[in-house]
Amino acid sequence: MQSAGLEPRPGVLLNLFNAKYWGRSVSFQAVSRWLRGEAIPEQDKLLVLAEILRVEPEVLRFGVKVRHSVQEHRQRWTDGVGYQDRETFDAFLRLPPAQRKFVRDLILTFAQPPADTDN
């Protein structure tokens, strides 16, 4: 709340939340439990909270560490995958499930380390 320029008090969040939320208003006790980490809001409420606090919904649910992990994973894909690989992935995703399984099994077979042939 402080990062969003808000005073970290349940009453402040309660008023902002209930003014933006389209469903049934929430109670002071519910907001207090959210802030103490005793409860996690339902997804529709989490989306409104994320908008109020100007953060991604996944940060509210899973924390900043998970966001950084996801960003690092995305960066690996951005840096390590070229146009031809992306084109291949797109074609793979368009295949019917049975063909996708076949291609996946084939790739995993090639990805295995070679068997020891010195027997």
Q: Which of 69, 40, 50 is nearest to 1 (CA)?
A: 50
- The tokens of 52 are what? 């109020």
Mean pLDDT (the chain, rounded): 89
The predicted-structure confidence for 48-106, as pLDDT tens digits, reads as follows 999 999 998 888 888 878 778 877 877 877 787 788 888 998 999 999 999 999 999 99
Question: Cα–Cα distance between 65 and 32 in angstroms, integer?
Answer: 24
Residue 46 has a CB neighbour count (10 Å cut-off) of 16
Residue 61 phi, psi (nearest 5): -80, -40
